A and B are shown apart, each in its own frame.
Chain A
Amino acid sequence: MSGQPRQREDAYLDHAATTTMRPEAIEAMLPWMTSHVGNASGAHRAARLARVAIDDARDLIADLMGGDSSEIVFTSGGTEADNLAVFGAAQAIGGAAVASTVEHPAVLACVEELGGRLVAVDHHGVLDIDMLGSVLGELDRTAVVSVMTANNETGVVQPLAEIAAAIRSKAPSAVLHTDAVQAFGWIEPDGYADADLVSISAHKFGGPQGVGCLLARRPVVPRQVGGGQERELRSGTHNVAGIVAMATAAMVCAEQRANTVERVKSLRDRFVDSVTALDERVSRTLGDFDVQNTLPGHAHVCVEGVDSETFLLLLEREGVLAAAASSCASGAQQSSHVLSAMGVEASRARGALRFTLGWSSTDDDVDRALAGFESVLEHLSVTL
């Protein structure tokens, strides 16, 4: 009875949590789970074959991220890449860690553990560059500044070039790390070209869960130690199938990016325009903030007078799967630190909903999501 996959008729609008795997990626990984055996750290033929697959993937990923093959460190995903970047740079350079208040917990927890500083964002969630400047000015020495390329909840893109300039002028010793986990599938590499360290995660752009990488243009000290398999910067047996699939997904994603972005953006715009037109209780969380400043798949709205936990359950009953802020280990919805940092009133944040579209989203998904949204609103008009 348990563990049934979601019904096929569900409209899945939670692609920022994880997106559909690209068929090409599945195809690419299958041989490494069936016919090929071999630990890439070994010396014999089968091992060498695995090593070649990883190095090919490394070249491809490096190229797609605008970096050099020697700068790629494969990890178990975005969180590990973020940990390696923040702890690794703090240790390599020596000094404080600084991050924005809207970072993913994968970065925030590292900065907190290092006793670092957080820099506020404005009401759209964009980093306050002046405050970054003054924080860097106050610190004796800064090792690493971590600012995400785009936010996982709102999709808001950060001005990394300006941030990098502020770091160069106020704390030249520091490196800029960016968590590009949400952004990588959607933006060109020049979007994070100013960052010294870049984290990505395969399952956000059509690869499998459990694999990611850090592009490290500057040295980092390893965080996970052992056999040193991954260029002595990360220990643990290589996830060959995952790495191969990630590179394939990244390639397909990049090839189709222009079309996907345009198509998904128009789906997203139609969705947001329609839900906000349904009822005056539904509003755009970011107001009239230019939608050019968010990732194309992100739609963030607030519904007045209802908590998101209830709304999402009712939506699920209508066959629409979406999200709010984030879930804790128990599975409970947690109030959003991102909206709180943006100064969104708690009463409004209570009804915050995140709908995210992905490469596989269709017009039909949007139609069904709209119909479900409308049914829930009608239901609430009666029961509330």
Chain B
Amino acid sequence: MSVRVLVAMSGGVDSSVAAAMLVDQGYDVTGVTLRLWGGEADQGCCSISDVHDARRVADQLGIDHHVFNFSEDFDRHVVEPFARDHAVGRTPNPCIECNRHLKFDLLVERADVLGFEKIATGHHARIVERSAGIRRLHRGADPAKDQSYVLAMLDQSTLRRCLFPVGDLQKTEVRELAASAGLRTAAKSESQDICFIRSDEGRSGFLESRIDFHPGEVVDTDGNRVGSVEAVQLVTIGQRKGLGVAGGAPPRYVVEVDLPAARVTVGSLADLDCNFSSVERIEWSHQRVEGILSVQSSAHGEPAAGVVTSDEVEWMSPHRRIAAGQSVAFYDGDDIVGSAVAI
């Protein structure tokens, strides 16, 4: 009997092609769309039209399609922490928490109960086997679409269960495959934004009803008041705009946010540099890797050389400060070896 795979289909082109490829490869494929956000959304993986697209692609491929309602878990693991983190001055990465808790943990749990050997998604990442059965998450073949950063938390047992069929492809190849298979999602545009935040309300509109905003003063590194913000909770390290600071050179960036004191400090780009970044929740995908690693602190940021200690990243050369709450991925070459969260 062929291997049974549960493929998460968001209604986008990548997961559509992932499902199609698995069918071609002879797997026994079932599609599932996760209903995550129960509230209003303008696009993203939860809208009715996206579920419809996923269902119609599944119909075309001749595979079963189900919808799993994970909205309560999504609220608990993604939306509520997103608001809570902002309330304490962190800048969380909800897509990573969603991957961690929903797309992988919960989906694997479901796959276990339902008897699926594998789960698959349309992420641009590869799984490679290194020494003695050790699997590593490897960057996707298309550098512009590589999503290994948002999957950095996957451990060995999850990596053994996962398939990322489009990880070997360039995005253009994905679209070509979709077009040649006549999939309705072939030309569909991608969602970039946070799926539970409507474009007309934005992050502040979304958070407004969930947490208290406090106004704050903006000071320079000498402590002189230079501006003000309406909500300290919305200010992020490295931010340049919306600080009520008079324009003109040189540009000033947020270098520190002191939430209890309701004070935002701005400085030059050089003031953002640091030699160490504190991190917590360090997880190694197999075991701790010593020595110099490539450390990446945003989805499409350039990695920088650093050494990971028990609670810090020591940068080889000064590195721009990382906002608290941001995920940090550790690479050995193009292999993910671990992850952490900046504090």
Interface residues of A (CB under 8 A from B): 1-3, 306, 309-310, 313-314, 328-335, 379-380, 383-384
Interface of B is mostly: helix
Other 10 A-B pairs with CB < 8 A, given A1-B59, A383-B112: A1-B61, A2-B60, A314-B113, A328-B69, A330-B35, A331-B67, A332-B69, A334-B69, A335-B69, A379-B115
C-alpha spacing A146/B48, complex, angstroms = 30
Do A332 and B35 touch across chains, with their CB atoms under 8 A apart?
A: yes
Checking A331, A379, A383, A384 against B55 with a beta-carbon cut-off of 8 angstroms, the contacting residue is A331
With A2-B59, A330-B33, A332-B35 already in contact, the answer to whether A309 and B69 are too (CB < 8 A) is yes
Do B114 and A313 touch across chains, with their CB atoms under 8 A apart?
A: yes
C-alpha spacing A40/B40, complex, angstroms = 42
13 contacts between A and B (CB under 8 A): A1-B60, A2-B59, A2-B62, A306-B113, A310-B110, A310-B114, A313-B66, A328-B35, A328-B69, A330-B48, A332-B51, A332-B68, A333-B67
**B72 in contact (CB, < 8 A):** yes
Do B59 and A314 touch across chains, with their CB atoms under 8 A apart?
A: no
Please name all residues of chain B whose beta carbon is closer than 8 Å to the beta carbon of A310 when the two chains form the complex.
110, 113-114
Complex interface residues of chain B between 65 and 91 (CB less than 8 A to chain A): 66-69, 71-72
Do A3 and B69 touch across chains, with their CB atoms under 8 A apart?
A: no
Please name all residues of chain A whose beta carbon is closer than 8 Å to the beta carbon of B59 when the two chains form the complex.
1-3
Interface of A is mostly: loop
C-alpha spacing A80/B275, complex, angstroms = 67
Do B60 and A330 touch across chains, with their CB atoms under 8 A apart?
A: no
C-alpha spacing A333/B67, complex, angstroms = 8
Do A383 and B67 touch across chains, with their CB atoms under 8 A apart?
A: no
The tally of CB-CB contacts under 8 A between chains A and B is 48
Complex interface residues of chain B between 30 and 52 (CB less than 8 A to chain A): 33, 35, 46, 48, 51
Do B62 and A383 touch across chains, with their CB atoms under 8 A apart?
A: no
With A309-B68, A309-B69, A332-B69 already in contact, the answer to whether A383 and B115 are too (CB < 8 A) is yes
Please name all residues of chain B whose beta carbon is closer than 8 Å to the beta carbon of A333 when the two chains form the complex.
67, 69
With A310-B113, A332-B68 already in contact, the answer to whether A1 and B51 are too (CB < 8 A) is no
Tell me the minimal C-beta distance from A1 to chain B in angstroms: 3
C-alpha spacing A334/B46, complex, angstroms = 14
Tell me the minimal C-beta distance from A123 to chain B in angstroms: 23
- Chain A's closest residue to B69 (CB) is A332
With A330-B48, A332-B35 already in contact, the answer to whether A314 and B114 are too (CB < 8 A) is yes
Do B113 and A380 touch across chains, with their CB atoms under 8 A apart?
A: yes
- Chain A's closest residue to B56 (CB) is A2
Do B67 and A332 touch across chains, with their CB atoms under 8 A apart?
A: yes
Checking B62, B71, B110, B112 against A1 with a beta-carbon cut-off of 8 angstroms, the contacting residue is B62
Do B113 and A384 touch across chains, with their CB atoms under 8 A apart?
A: yes
Please name all residues of chain B whose beta carbon is closer than 8 Å to the beta carbon of A314 when the two chains form the complex.
113-114
- Chain A's closest residue to B52 (CB) is A330
- Chain A's closest residue to B59 (CB) is A2
With A2-B62, A313-B66 already in contact, the answer to whether A331 and B51 are too (CB < 8 A) is yes
B151-162: CB near A (< 8 Å → 1, else 0) gives 000000000000
Tell me the minimal C-beta distance from A358 to chain B in angstroms: 25
Kindly list the 9 A-B residue pairs having the minimum CB-CB distance in the complex, ordered from nearest: A1-B62, A2-B59, A332-B69, A332-B35, A330-B51, A332-B67, A331-B67, A329-B48, A383-B113
C-alpha spacing A309/B106, complex, angstroms = 13
Please name all residues of chain A whose beta carbon is closer than 8 Å to the beta carbon of B62 when the two chains form the complex.
1-2
Tell me the minimal C-beta distance from B55 to chain A in angstroms: 7
Please name all residues of chain A whose beta carbon is closer than 8 Å to the beta carbon of B114 when the two chains form the complex.
310, 313-314
- Chain A's closest residue to B60 (CB) is A2
Tell me the minimal C-beta distance from B70 to chain A in angstroms: 9
B98-113: CB near A (< 8 Å → 1, else 0) gives 0000000000001011
C-alpha spacing A328/B112, complex, angstroms = 25
Tell me the minimal C-beta distance from B39 to chain A in angstroms: 12
Tell me the minimal C-beta distance from B52 to chain A in angstroms: 8
C-alpha spacing A313/B32, complex, angstroms = 12
Please name all residues of chain A whose beta carbon is closer than 8 Å to the beta carbon of B68 when the two chains form the complex.
309, 332
C-alpha spacing A314/B69, complex, angstroms = 16
C-alpha spacing A330/B33, complex, angstroms = 9
Please name all residues of chain B whose beta carbon is closer than 8 Å to the beta carbon of A331 when the two chains form the complex.
51, 55, 66-67
- Chain A's closest residue to B47 (CB) is A330
Tell me the minimal C-beta distance from B161 to chain A in angstroms: 15
Tell me the minimal C-beta distance from B42 to chain A in angstroms: 15
